[in-house]
Amino acid sequence: MAVNYNRLWKLLIDKGITKTEMRKRAGISTTVLAKMGKNETVSMDTLARIAAVMECGLDDIVEINVE
> pLDDT by residue (tens digit) across 15-29?
999 999 999 999 999
What backbone phi and psi angles, to 5 degrees, belong to 25? -65, -40
The pLDDT value given to residue 55:
95
Return the sign of the alpha-carbon dihedral for residues 44, 50, 53, 57. negative
Architecture of domain 2-65: Orthogonal Bundle (1.10)
The pLDDT value given to residue 52:
96
The pLDDT value given to residue 9:
97
The pLDDT value given to residue 17:
96
* Cα–Cα–Cα angle for 51, 53, 55, rounded to 5 degrees: 60
b/e map 33-65, b = 16+ CB within 10 Å: bebbeeeeebeeebbebbbebbeeeeeebbeee
Task: Break the chain into its structural domains and give their ranges.
Answer: 2-65
Residue segments in the chain with a per-residue pLDDT below the cut of 70:
none
The pLDDT value given to residue 67:
74
